[in-house]
Amino acid sequence: MVMPQHTLGGLSVGAIGLGCMSFAPVYGSVANLDPTSVVLHAVDHGVMLDTADGYGDSEVLIGNAIRARRRDQVVIASKFGIVSGPRPGQPGVVNGTPEYVRASVKRSLQRLRTDYIDLYYQHRADENVPIEETVGAMAELVASGEVRFLGLSEASVDTIRRAASVHPIAAVQSEWSLWSRDIEREVVPVCRELGIGIVAFSPLGRGMLTGTVTSREQFGEHDLRRIHPRFTADTFPTNLATIDVVQDVASKRGATPGQVALAWLLAKGQDVVPIPGTKHVRYLEENLGAAGVDLTEADIARLDGLTVVGSRAIDPTFIYRTTPPMRS
């Protein structure tokens, strides 16, 4: 299968990427995980690997896997900035100081066993550090050859504009799916105005849009979905009912529900790259097959009408983050 190309700023990548947070224990145990086969399968299909320094051993596992390929055959995106993620009663901690930027990229390069990262994001904006200072330090990494393109994740419109005034931003990563469409109001229009691509994480609704999740009892003890607002005892039944529409469209198109959810995103533009996560080659193949699913205008209109209940974030203050102005 030849993967169609989409464009993130000046970076051409496969239309569907591989989200590598699945290599971390966010949705359950990853004990004894060896993702080499799925990573190499992704690389062989021109798929971007999207990871972060906060995804457990993800960078190390990818670094070990890609030793079997020439570096110019691999597109790697990684992120820095989240020191610790939010938990109930415990806010997340972010560091966007120039010193932290420089130290973080060196650690990531070492773990990834490479001398450059194709796309390097600030994982979350630091509300104590002007974005101009952070992106200024990131721009130095481009000048030194350690990074090729710059990105932001879950940034506000103000942060995106100010960052782009310092250095071109190739991509903004945010949650975007049939279940999460809030970025369409402001973030997507601004990105398109500035020539910035959009990388959509959790494009399968944290697994729900695949049609394989039918009960909260499927979640293991350490699965983060147990405390997610869209998977509570109150919201789960309502949100589960939305999958009937996706499954009906899928049956009409000879596709799986997950493929329909991804095809819906691909139809939003050639500057959109969804990054579903998986640890298995067969699910990667299924996800990549979404590029061959043609949805009709009626399908898209029907899917556009889906609604869900509950916040998309455990801590809403951890998205659309804005930084203080430059110090005088």
- For 4-63, the DSSP string reads PEEEETTEEEESS-EEGGGGTTTSS--TT--THHHHHHHHHTTPPEE--TTSTTHHHHHH
Using alpha carbons, select from 290, 217, 301 the residue that is nearest to residue 257: 290
Active-site annotation holder among 55, 100, 283, 320: 55
Length of the chain: 328
User: Distance from CA of residue 149 to its chain's centroid?
Assistant: 16
CB contact at 8 A, 172 and 198: yes
Catalytic residue flag (residue 55):
yes
User: Distance from CA of residue 234 to its chain's centroid?
Assistant: 27
CB contact at 8 A, 241 and 215: no
Orientation of helix 58-66 relative to helix 98-112, angle to 10°: 40
Residues recognised as catalytic: 55
